[in-house]
């Protein structure tokens, strides 16, 4: 797969995001909300209900930087992180029960649902990364220059 250039910034191809599938090819989904110990006394946030998928990216992408997600070659999302593998493998790719509730990571749930929707449409979902310690500022610049990709709020 090819690397990409967005607004003069080189993004290295990381992987195609593949959601977990069963033996017959069906997408495996999860409803982690019921496993939250405080579910009976907590309220789901706006992205916390329903089904989620699971996915992983390769380990070893432990640098800070800015990542880009494309769906069928269309830029959909920019984000920043301290550790790309951690962000995707324990954030977006595996939704913890706590993150479905008010006070949890709404972004994790929202992005996971968008990945699930794209996968259900048989879209190709690619991940790209630009390593930089100035990730917060670079993400902000890219969002301003790119008129906010559809998955960015």
**Residues 124-145 pLDDT 10s:** 999 999 999 999 999 999 998 8
Q: Does residue 1 surpass a pLDDT of 70?
A: no
pTM value? 0.95
User: For residue 127, what are the β-bridge partners?
Assistant: 15, 69
Closest by alpha carbon to 96, among 58, 48, 56, 62?
48
Q: Centre a 10 Å sphere on the Cβ of residue 110 and count the other Cβ atoms it contains.
A: 17
CB 104 within 8 A of CB 39: no
Q: Which helix (H) or strand (E) holds 127?
A: strand 125-131
Residue by residue, DSSP assigns 24-85 as TSPBPEE-GGGG-TTGGG--B-TT-SS-EE-B---TT--S-EEEEEEETTEEEEEEEES-HH
CATH of domain 13-145: 3.40.1440
pLDDT band, residue 153 (cuts 50/70/90): confident
Task: Report the percent of the chain where pLDDT is more than 70.
Answer: 99
Closest by alpha carbon to 50, among 20, 21, 30?
30
* Domain range list for the chain: 13-145
**Residues 30-89 pLDDT 10s:** 999 999 999 999 999 999 999 999 999 999 999 999 999 999 999 999 999 999 999 999
- Per-residue confidence (pLDDT) for residue 147, from 0 to 100: 76
């Amino acid at each position: 797969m090819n690397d990409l250039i967005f607004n003069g910034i080189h993004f290295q191809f990381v992987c195609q995001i593949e959601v977990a599938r069963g033996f017959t090819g069906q997408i495996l989904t999860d409803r982690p909300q019921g496993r939250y110990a405080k579910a009976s006394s907590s309220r789901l946030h706006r992205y916390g209900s329903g089904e989620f998928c699971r996915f992983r990216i390769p380990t070893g992408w432990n640098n800070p930087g800015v990542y880009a997600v494309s769906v069928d070659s269309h830029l959909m999302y920019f984000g920043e992180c301290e550790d790309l593998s951690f962000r995707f493998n324990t954030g977006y790719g595996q939704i913890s029960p706590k993150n479905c509730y008010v006070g949890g990571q709404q972004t994790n749930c929202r992005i996971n649902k968008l990945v699930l929707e794209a996968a259900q449409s048989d879209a190709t979902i690619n991940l790209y990364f630009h390593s930089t310690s100035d990730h917060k500022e670079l993400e902000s610049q890219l969002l301003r220059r790119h008129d906010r990709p559809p998955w960015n709020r």
